[in-house]
Amino acid sequence: MNKNTVLAWATFIMVIVGLGLISLAAFKYREIAGYGFGAVGVGFFAIAWVFNALKGRV
């Protein structure tokens, strides 16, 4: 596996984890903890976006 493939897999895994955290925030933790889960899920999306942007440059 080269560097671009590793970054692609990392992006894919981070998107899956981000979706899981946001779905936990929406369906399981509807109280105050849900805001934290949702914020962390959005953070995972932001990091995945950075990994995707680095894919051709590293």
Confidence (pLDDT) at 13 = 94
Is the pLDDT assigned to residue 57 strictly greater than 80?
A: no
Of residues 56 and 22, the one with the higher pLDDT is 22
Q: Which three-class secondary structure string do you get for the chain? A: CCHHHHHHHHHHHHHHHHHHHHHHHHHCCCCHHHHHHHHHHHHHHHHHHHHHHHCCCC
| Interval 6-27: pLDDT, tens | 888 999 999 999 999 999 999 9
Confidence (pLDDT) at 55 = 78
